[in-house]
Amino acid sequence: MKAKTFIDQVEVLVRSGKGGDGAMSFRREALVEFGGPDGGDGGRGGDVVFAASDHQNSLLSLYYDPKCFAQDGGPGQGQKMYGKRGKDLIVPVPLGTEVYEVDTGLLVADITEPGQKVIVAKGGAGGFGNVHFKSSVNQAPTEHTPGGAPEEKRLRLELKTIADAGLLGFPNAGKSSLLSVLSSATPKIASYPFTTLNPIVGTIVYPDWAKIRMADVPGIIEGAAKGVGLGLAFLKHLERSKVLVYVIDMAGTDNREPWNDYKILKKEIDEYSFELSERPCLVVANKMDEEVSKENLARFVRETGVEPIAISCETREGLDEFREALRRIVEPKMKFHHTHAEAPDLKDLPDTTGDELPEDALRFATFLKFDKPKAKSHPSRGNIH
C-alpha cells in the first residue's frame, strides 16, 4: 500500500502535565532548634499548545503520532525547594487548522494567523508545600496539597486550506494547468481524470507585488455530493476562499458538454453548501485554442446565460484578463503603497544652507529624541542602589 502523504482530518488525544505535589518537610540542621516547616511547592504541569506552522501543509505527523502529552510538574522538596516546571508540548499544525472537541463538537480553536498559539490543555497547578500552612497556632503543620489534575481530551483537527481563490471543475478541465501557468506551483498535469489527489496552493504575484493565493482541489463529478468519484470532501478546502473559479473544458473533451458540466457543478455545490454556492465566482472557459471551443462557447452562453472569461493554458490567451478579474474581487491587501500622488514635490521643499534642519525633517527624525523626558528613576527599575 502506498504511504499516505496528505491528511486533512485527524483525531488526537491531548493531555497536559499534572501539577507536582507540595512537599511536607521540616528543617533539620545541627544547632538549629525548631527549624520549622520547609516543604516547597510542586511545579506546574506543562501545557499542550498548538502553534501555527508555515512549514506544514498537512496533518500527517499527527496522523502517525496522535498522542500529545505534556510533561508533569516535579514535586516540591525540603529546604523550600520548588518542584521542576513541566515542559510545555508545542505541536506545530498547518495554517487553516480547525480544532473541535470530540465530546461536545465545539470549535475550540481556529488557527489562521502565522505565529498563532493556542493552549488546548492547561497544565495542573503545583501543590502547596507545608511551609505555606505555618501560623501562630500551628508552628509545625503537616498539611500539604497535591498538584492539580491534568486536562485530558480528545480533539478532532480539520484542515481547511487558506486561499483567496479556489479552482473548481470536472477532472481534466485544466485546473492544475491554470495554477501552473499563473503561479510557480508545480502540480501534476495529465490527460487522465483525478490527476490531482490533494489540494495544492499557488501564489499569483502581480507586477506591483500584490499576491493572491489560489487553491487547486481534486475534480468533482456528477453525484459527488453522494460520494461518487472523490466525493465532495475536498470542497472544505475552498470554504475559506473569497472567490470560486469554475474551470470549464470548452473543448468538450471525451464528448462532454461544457454547458452541462457547468450546470452539474453548480448543482453539486448547491447540495454541498448554500453558503458556498452564494460565494462570488468567476467562470473561465479553458482550452479555447481548440477548434471546437468557439462554437461551444457561443452555445454555452446561450444555454447558461453566463459569459465566461475565455482562456487557454496552452497559448496563454486571456490569462491577463482572468488575473485582473480575480484581483477586482479579491482586492488583495498591499503591504506598501507607493503612489506618485503621495511623493512630495521637490520644488516645494525649502532651500537650506545646510546648517539648519527643516522642521518637517525633525518631526520624522525619531532617532533624534531632543525633548524626550529622561525616564524617572524608580526602585522597581533597579537603578537605585
Give the binding site for ligand GTP (CB under 6 A): 169, 171-177, 189-191, 193-196, 218-219, 286-287, 289-290, 312-314
Q: Which does 289 bind (CB under 5 to 8 A by kind): ligand GTP, Mg ion, none?
A: ligand GTP
Q: Which does 203 bind (CB under 5 to 8 A by kind): ligand GTP, Mg ion, none?
A: none
Task: Rule CB under 5 A: choose which of 25, 58, 77, 176 binds Mg ion.
Answer: 176
Minimum CB–partner distance for residue 280 and Mg ion (Å): 23
Residue 62, burial from CB neighbour count under 10 angstroms (0-12, 13-18, 19+): buried
In terms of CB distance, is 89 or 251 closer to ligand GTP? 251
In terms of CB distance, is 49 or 250 closer to Mg ion? 250
In terms of CB distance, is 14 or 173 closer to ligand GTP? 173
Task: Compute the half-sphere exposure of residue 285: CA atoms within 13 Å on the CB side of its CA.
Answer: 25
How many angstroms separate the CA atoms of 137 and 141, rounded?
Answer: 10
How many angstroms separate the CA atoms of 83 and 25, rounded?
Answer: 14
Q: Note the helical H segments in 221-282.
A: 258-272, 274-277
Q: How far is CA 22 from the centre of its chain?
A: 40
> CA 346, 350, 351, 352 torsion: positive or negative?
negative
Minimum CB–partner distance for residue 178 and Mg ion (Å): 9
Minimum CB–partner distance for residue 125 and ligand GTP (Å): 52
How many amino acids of this chain bind Mg ion (CB under 5 A)? 3
Asked if 280 and 243 touch (Cβ cutoff 8 Å), the reply is: yes
Is residue 195 near Mg ion by the rule CB under 5 A? yes
Minimum CB–partner distance for residue 94 and Mg ion (Å): 21
Beta carbons within 10 angstroms of residue 342's beta carbon: 7
In terms of CB distance, is 66 or 193 closer to Mg ion? 193
Minimum CB–partner distance for residue 189 and ligand GTP (Å): 4
* Angle, in degrees to the nearest 10, between helices 293-304 and 258-272: 50
Q: Which does 202 bind (CB under 5 to 8 A by kind): Mg ion, ligand GTP, none?
A: none
How many angstroms separate the CA atoms of 137 and 164, rounded?
Answer: 69
- Residue 297's H or E segment, with its range, is helix 293-304
In terms of CB distance, is 14 or 288 closer to ligand GTP? 288
Minimum CB–partner distance for residue 300 and Mg ion (Å): 22
Q: Which does 71 bind (CB under 5 to 8 A by kind): Mg ion, ligand GTP, none?
A: none
What SS3 class is residue 271? helix
In terms of CB distance, is 97 or 196 closer to Mg ion? 196
Is residue 196 near Mg ion by the rule CB under 5 A? yes
Region class of 351: left (phi > 0), else alpha (psi between -120 and 50), else beta: beta
In terms of CB distance, is 195 or 253 closer to Mg ion? 195
Asked if 48 and 16 touch (Cβ cutoff 8 Å), the reply is: yes
User: Amino acid identity, residue 266?
Assistant: K
Minimum CB–partner distance for residue 292 and Mg ion (Å): 22
In terms of CB distance, is 78 or 202 closer to Mg ion? 202
How many angstroms separate the CA atoms of 121 and 108, rounded?
Answer: 11
Q: Which does 287 bind (CB under 5 to 8 A by kind): Mg ion, ligand GTP, none?
A: ligand GTP
User: Interface with Mg ion by CB under 5 A: which residues?
Assistant: 176, 195-196
